[in-house]
């Protein structure tokens, strides 16, 4: 029996156990697009799935949610996309009929799946999606670095939630990939000063490259005094926490002026101990959560990178072919603090 053209996928059979599997290529149905994957950036979420620490993930799983590629085929009824077009994938796959979806908040879909977690992801040579999850990229952008646009869109989503305005003072805790992008986006929003906080010197050097006004080499707790000094004792309007550590909540609130906003961007399953709700009253602090991204965050982020306002070229630490996905994750697990993004392309020897 003829089974059509083949492709390879890197299947995670169990934590830390990859297998390169040959499969039939997907075929585009009505309203669908098949994307030939060019590059997938690997982030902390993938590392949690790889090591078995991400709750609720069922194995085997094909990871990969920060992906770019080229349209390979379009199904009936698809307009605006042609084979050969470079694209970025929106990995938040919504059900389309729950109350969140009905409100136009598909990123809060009650039944949403993320590509590469609940739905087969981009560590595969071809992926099939409904056409509205596929965003055209300007052809001049590198498909490797354009994978960062997915993360940038989540960062932009959070800053929209915070409603950051020009002239406000901002602290960004942590200067990994999302922290650096928060720093840059806050500068572009006209925030001043933008204070980057990290315990890692080279990340602060990158924060300066993102035009941070101040770079503070310290933990969140140890940075409180310096943030107060830099704001003449007032505290800042906004703190954005990208550290993913529960212990930063209290420190972040201590840095805020009365009426300030704390954005918990990178969350943690850890319990927050020793936290009192009193500052929510006394300082009238707002705590703001942010989940994933919306299609308009993706379009705005593509524009920010295409126009050169945000330079993501320095974020790709190293690149691996698809059939060495296992080696890529071994390196990432060994050195998570030294890596911004590992990119896996679709090459199989
Ligand atoms: Zn990610
Ligand atoms: Zn839904």
Average pLDDT over residues 76-82: 97
Indicate whether 51 pLDDT > 80: yes
Looking at residue 3, what is its pLDDT?
A: 65
Q: Which ligand is nearest to the CA of 91?
A: 1
| Residue 292 Cα to ligand 2 middle (Å) | 14
Q: What is the distance between the alpha carbons of residues 121 and 37, in angstroms, rounded to a whole number?
A: 10
How close is the Cα of 64 to the center of ligand 1, in Å? 8
Quote the pLDDT of residue 2: 58
Reported as a single tens digit per residue, the pLDDT across 154-183 is 999 999 999 999 999 999 999 999 999 999
87's tokens: 């694209």
Domains of the chain: 6-143+312-345 (3.90.180.10), 158-289 (3.40.50.720)
Distance 117 CA to ligand 2 centre (A): 17
Has residue 274 got a pLDDT over 90? no
Cα(100) to ligand 2 centroid in Å equals 6
Q: What is the pLDDT of residue 162?
A: 98
Position 150 pLDDT exceeds 80: yes
Mean pLDDT, all residues of the chain: 96
What DSSP string runs through 80-136?
A: S--TT-EEEE--EE--SSSHHHHTT-GGG-TT-EEBTTTB--SSBSEEEEEGGGEEE
Q: Cα–Cα distances in Å, from 205 out to 17, 196, 234, 330?
A: 36, 10, 26, 26
Distance 167 CA to ligand 1 centre (A): 30
Q: Do the Cβ atoms of 35 and 127 come closer than 8 Å?
A: yes
Tell me how crowded residue 43 is: count the other CB atoms within 10 A of its CB: 23
- The protein residues having their C-beta less than 5 angstroms from ligand 1 (an ion) are 43, 45
Res. 192: pLDDT tops 90: yes
Q: What is the pLDDT of residue 1?
A: 55
Tell me the pLDDT band of 349, cut-offs 50, 70 and 90.
confident
β-partners of residue 127 are: 35
Q: Which two tokens stand for residue 108?
A: 């809060």
Summarised one tens digit per residue, pLDDT across range 250-272 is 999 999 999 999 999 998 888 99
Q: Cα–Cα distance between 138 and 38 in angstroms, integer? A: 15
CB 293 within 8 A of CB 129: no
């Amino acid at each position: 029996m003829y089974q059509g053209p083949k492709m390879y996928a890197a299947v995670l059979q169990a934590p830390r156990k990859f297998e390169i599997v040959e499969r039939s290529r997907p075929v585009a149905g009505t309203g669908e697009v098949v994307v030939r994957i060019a590059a997938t950036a690997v982030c902390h979420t993938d590392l949690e799935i790889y090591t078995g620490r991400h709750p609720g993930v069922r194995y085997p799983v094909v990871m990969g949610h920060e992906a770019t590629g080229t349209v390979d085929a379009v199904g009936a009824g698809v307009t605006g996309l042609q084979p050969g077009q470079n694209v970025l994938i929106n990995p938040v796959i919504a059900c389309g009929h729950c109350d969140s979806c009905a409100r136009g908040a598909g990123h809060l879909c009650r039944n949403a799946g993320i590509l590469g977690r609940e739905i087969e992801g981009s560590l595969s040579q071809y992926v099939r999606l409904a056409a509205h999850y596929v965003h055209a990229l300007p052809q001049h952008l590198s498909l490797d670095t354009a994978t960062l646009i997915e993360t940038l869109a989540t960062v932009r989503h959070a800053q929209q939630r915070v409603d950051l305005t020009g002239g406000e003072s901002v602290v960004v805790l942590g200067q990994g990939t999302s922290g650096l992008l928060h720093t840059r986006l806050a500068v572009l929003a006209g925030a001043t000063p933008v204070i980057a906080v990290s315990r890692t010197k080279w990340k602060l050097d990158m924060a300066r490259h993102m035009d941070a006004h101040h770079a503070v080499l310290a933990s969140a707790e140890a940075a409180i005094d310096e943030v107060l000094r830099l704001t003449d004792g007032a505290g800042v309007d906004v703190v954005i926490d990208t550290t993913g550590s529960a212990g930063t909540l209290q420190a972040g609130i201590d840095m805020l002026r009365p009426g300030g906003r704390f954005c918990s961007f990178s969350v943690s399953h850890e319990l927050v101990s020793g936290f009192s709700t009193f500052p929510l009253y006394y300082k009238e602090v707002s705590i703001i959560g942010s989940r994933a991204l919306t299609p308009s965050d993706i379009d705005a982020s593509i524009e920010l990178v295409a126009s050169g306002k945000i330079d993501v070229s320095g974020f790709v630490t190293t690149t691996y072919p698809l059939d060495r996905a296992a080696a890529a994750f071994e390196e990432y697990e060994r050195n998570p603090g030294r890596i911004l993004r590992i990119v896996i392309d679709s090459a199989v020897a």
